[in-house]
A and B are shown apart, each in its own frame.
Chain A
Amino acid sequence: MKKLFSIVLVVVLLVSMLSLAGCQAKTYELAMITDVGDIDDKSFNQGTWEGIKEYAEANKITHKYYKPTEASTDAYVAAIDLAVSSGAKVIVTPGFLFEEAVFIAQDKYPEVMFILLDGTPHDAAWENFKTGPNVYAVVYAEEQVGYLAGYAAVMDGYRNLGYQGGMAVPAVCRYGFGFVQGADDAAKELGLAKGTVKLMYNYSGDFADTPASQTRAAGWYQAGTEVIFAAGGKVGNSVMSAAETANKAVIGVDVDQSAESATVIASAMKGLAYMVQFGLKEYYAGTFPGGVAVIAGAESNAVSLSPFSTAKWKTFSQADYDSLFAKLADATIVPQKDEGRTDPTLLNPQYITLTFVE
């Protein structure tokens, strides 16, 4: 029995070694490394991967995604190593969590191009910043699309707003800061007395759907909040659940979330696929825009509210949206960024009552 078992084991080992060797013969030119979520997170990973896939299939380029063993810089670098050894020429990394990994890998593999979405490469201590000639770093102007959402909500007649962020990471803060400023400017424009528009503001501290987040949202809705902008991954699902019970509204985030719940009146979207494909096109044209960190906002159509075909605005019209969007695109309106701040009261809004729930 024991002998048989060891023979079987040896055969299994041999077969798996052979199949591994077989794998390595195949190379993939485009690689993506996933961050903490899965490839189907309906958010960053998925949006980015769809962009890569579309471009690669149209141009018949081999492509593959790699899932790191864990969410750490070491694991990300290991995944990049694996991708390079499998023949990757361009590696796409979605999310600011890759900042350190790309900082390390850009010197390790100078011949490989990196597209870093939503961040700029820096070392672990945040002391050395370097975007090498082989790195195209894209930072989204979340504050612009947050601004659009806040402005549109107030213009559409909502007076009690809520912002439910996830962890207080820079992107989440920018969304919230933009939302506050947009609501404030809309209140000013409508000439509403101070206190007419109220805004509750919270970071849940996680990206999970929990009874706590559902309860917080239910409490706000009960206390009069009409619409909550939920920017925190699955925290949004809890907010949607509360909204369904209370029959209130939600503004979704990152991608068009209108299919997830009938309560989603609009979504603040980032053009992930668009920016990835832009980088890839430039690479294959021989003009890879490396060495710079690009802030992608309205001017390059990298951020937008979800289209009016899926949105449920009452009075806010396409024309209103277009004129506001144009002002953001030509920098007539420049919402403040987070700049390391998490506390929205520092924005000191003049026309709305802001309650920051710590």
Chain B
Amino acid sequence: MEMLYLLLRQTMFFSIPLLIVALGGMFSERSGVTNIALEGIMVMGGFAGIYFINQLQSGMSGQLLLLLAIVIAVAGGVIFSLLHGYASINLKADQVISGTALNMFAPAFVIYLARMIQPSGIANVSFKNTFLISKVPVLGDIPVIGDIFFKNTYITTFVGFFILIVSAVVLYKTRFGMRLRACGEHPQAADSVGINVYKMRYIGVMISGALAGLGGLVLTIPISTEFKGAVNGYGFLALAVLIFGQWKPMRILWASLFFGFMQTISAAYSAIPFLLNLNIPSEFFKMTPYIATLIVLAFSSKSSKAPKAVGQPYDQGAR
């Protein structure tokens, strides 16, 4: 039983960053801007957050420091995403190329930056993990649920779920959300009723920058003791989650939990005698989420819920 709880807790370490980043991608794409720069933005946000912790950890620790680092990571992500916004909205550049450029730029830039600003001149930014919550008071005593969600956890898990709820409400229940979606479906129509498409798209890209930046920090905290300009493809994985989740918040949640759980199993199956004795190669577990994605895409491609105008620069003059 303890092992099952561990697996579910570990799943959170995979799923929460994927969830946060995929939700970020959702806001951008729903506004009509393809954002494959998620990987690069994660690197930027992760670096900003971890460097902040690195600098302040001698004087403070624990949840307050982590919350402040979250703010910094969000800010880092937003600023970096503005480059993508400027290129793809103002300059009407090819959004895939702009995103690719940012993905290639970010890792090199943060390593350069780390070398420049750290007195030791090294590229690795180390941090002390003082953020683990071994047990949440009261809630941790609830059987089963307490063991899964409220023991050996990080505050970022709750932040992730909070973002999910806010995202779902904002996207479907607010005027802003409706306008944002309109800009992604038919920007000309949105413009004709007085919505500023450029502004909405900028906001969409900035939200995606904020969440992807946060995702970079959330991914790194539980799994390492240092950061060195890489998030190992999790930004691209989040894109897959976004598509698998068909650009809808709740579906994105299930997709990220599914991806996360399969990845957890593929990594930890050796600790579970039952799975180990089945003699299934670990590659099988690793492949499963992707094969499932392909199958879902094959069946749903006709009725794909992708925003209609995603990837097309909006030109007001061409209306």
Instruction: Point out residues on A near B: beta carbons under 8 Å.
Output: 38, 40, 42, 200, 202, 208-216, 218-220, 222-223, 234, 237-238, 240-241, 244-245, 260-261, 355, 357-358
Contacts and interface: CB of A to CB of B under 8 A. Distances in A.
A176 to B, nearest CB: 15
Contact of A234 (B222, B224, B272): B224
A357 B276 contact: yes
B99 to A, nearest CB: 22
Contact of B267 (A38, A215, A223, A237): A215
Nearest to B226: A237
B100 interface: no
Contacts of A245: 132, 152, 222
A240 B222 CA distance: 11
A219 B7 contact: yes
A214 B267 CA distance: 8
A223 B7 CA distance: 11
A179 to B, nearest CB: 17
B232 interface: yes
Contact of A223 (B152, B226, B232, B271): B271
A240 B266 CA distance: 20
B282 A357 contact: yes
B122 interface: yes
A358 B281 contact: yes
B312 interface: no
Contacts of B267: 211-213, 215-216, 219
B14 interface: yes
B190 interface: no
Interface stretch (B62-70, B123-131, B202-210): B123-131
Interface in B80-130: 111, 115, 120-124, 126, 129
Contacts of A214: 10, 13, 222-224
Given A211-B14, A214-B13, A214-B223, 7 more contacts: A40-B122, A211-B267, A212-B267, A216-B268, A216-B271, A219-B272, A260-B226
Given A209-B223, A211-B13, A216 B270 contact: yes
Nearest to B282: A358
A251 to B, nearest CB: 15
25 contacts: A200-B270, A211-B13, A211-B14, A211-B219, A211-B223, A211-B263, A212-B263, A214-B10, A214-B13, A214-B222, A216-B268, A216-B270, A219-B267, A219-B269, A222-B2, A223-B3, A237-B224, A241-B129, A245-B152, A260-B225, A261-B225, A355-B276, A357-B276, A357-B282, A358-B281
